[in-house]
């Protein structure tokens, strides 16, 4: 069987967050040449630190002629848009723009491609990725990011209870038919206060329950002057989030 490995490290400038990329290459080389890793020969492995395009292309050509190829990359990366599609981008060449991950995929019969790089992306890219892939790992990553942000904001506040009342003492809490969506006037107004805020909020912003309640209170009174929502939150330094935006 013909085999070839291409081990790449692009650490970038010192202190840029990928200083240990070269260590990864040394670890991979040692592992592959060891007996459990497959007893690879040294001449079956190309190693690169901040590779030049021409030399890397030659190594990829050698890997493409094999029955089995292993390509590893350690360095900076991100999730970006390439040809209109969300794509993992890797910074293979120092001081050059990141390239699509598939440029590191040789045409071997069998290939193991290991990308130890970030896949961070702006919210717009993540949402595009999630929309294209449905209930995918990326969508789960977006959900988990929102969950962490929401929980962090909750844990910043003091313990205790905040009570939101849909009306004042001696009043009735009325129903409301809003955009063919029946429900309690206060509930719909409160949720609308959160959802409308989300549509215009900046990144990493929080709509707390007090602010949302105040907006809902105005809307409720406008639609039913005999209903006055109330709130009891005591003397608090922090207020629970109702909605968050990443």
**Could you tell me if residue 138 is inside a domain?**
no
- Asked whether residue 104 falls in the same domain as residue 203, the answer is no
> Per the confidence metrics, is the pTM higher than 0.75?
no
Read off the tokens for 169.
């003492």
**Could you tell me if residue 72 is inside a domain?**
yes
**Could you tell me if residue 148 is inside a domain?**
no
In which domain, by residue range, is 113 found? 3-121
CA distances from 34 to 2, 38, 40 (A): 18, 7, 7
- Asked whether residue 65 falls in the same domain as residue 174, the answer is no
Domain boundary among 121, 141, 170: 121
d(CA 164, CA 187): 10
d(CA 100, CA 105): 10
**Could you tell me if residue 178 is inside a domain?**
yes
Examine the pLDDT at 221 and tell me if it is beyond 80.
yes
Q: Assign 3-state DSSP to the chain and report helix, strand, coil percentages, each to 5.
A: 40, 25, 35
Cβ neighbors of 123 (< 8 A, separation 6 or more) are 203, 246
How many CA atoms lie within 13 Å of 76's alpha carbon, on the beta-carbon side?
Answer: 20
Examine the pLDDT at 205 and tell me if it is beyond 70.
yes
How high is the pLDDT of residue 96?
Answer: 85
CATH number at residue 73: 3.40.50.1460
How large is the average pLDDT for residues 80-88?
79
pLDDT, tens digit (0-9, with 9 covering 90-100), for 103-120: 999 999 899 898 888 777
**Could you tell me if residue 117 is inside a domain?**
yes
- Asked whether residue 26 falls in the same domain as residue 93, the answer is yes
**Could you tell me if residue 139 is inside a domain?**
no
**Could you tell me if residue 39 is inside a domain?**
yes
Cβ neighbors of 164 (< 8 A, separation 6 or more) are 190, 209, 213, 229, 230, 231
């Amino acid at each position: 069987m013909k085999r070839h490995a291409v081990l790449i490290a692009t650490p970038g400038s010192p202190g840029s967050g990928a200083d240990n990329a070269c260590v990864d290459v040394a670890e991979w080389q040692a592992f592959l040449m060891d007996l459990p890793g497959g007893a690879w020969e040294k001449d079956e492995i190309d190693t690169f630190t901040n590779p030049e395009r021409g030399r890397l292309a030659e190594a990829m050509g050698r890997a493409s002629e094999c029955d089995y190829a292993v390509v590893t990359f350690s360095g900076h990366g991100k999730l970006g848009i390439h040809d209109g599609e969300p794509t993992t981008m890797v910074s293979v060449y120092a001081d050059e723009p990141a390239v699509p991950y598939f440029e590191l995929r040789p045409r071997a019969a069998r290939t193991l491609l290991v990308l130890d790089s970030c896949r961070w992306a702006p919210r717009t890219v993540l949402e595009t990725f999630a929309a294209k892939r449905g209930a995918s790992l990326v969508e789960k990553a977006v959900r988990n990011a929102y969950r962490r942000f929401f929980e962090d904001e909750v844990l910043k506040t003091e313990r205790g209870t905040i009570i939101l009342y849909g009306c004042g003492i001696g009043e009735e809490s009325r129903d409301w038919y809003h955009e063919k969506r029946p429900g309690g006037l206060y509930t719909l107004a409160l949720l609308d206060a959160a959802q409308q805020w989300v549509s215009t909020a900046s990144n990493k912003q929080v709509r707390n329950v007090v602010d949302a309640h105040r907006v809902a209170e105005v809307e409720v009174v406008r639609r039913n002057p005999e209903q006055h929502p109330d709130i009891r939150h005591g003397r608090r330094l922090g207020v629970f989030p109702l909605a968050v935006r990443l």
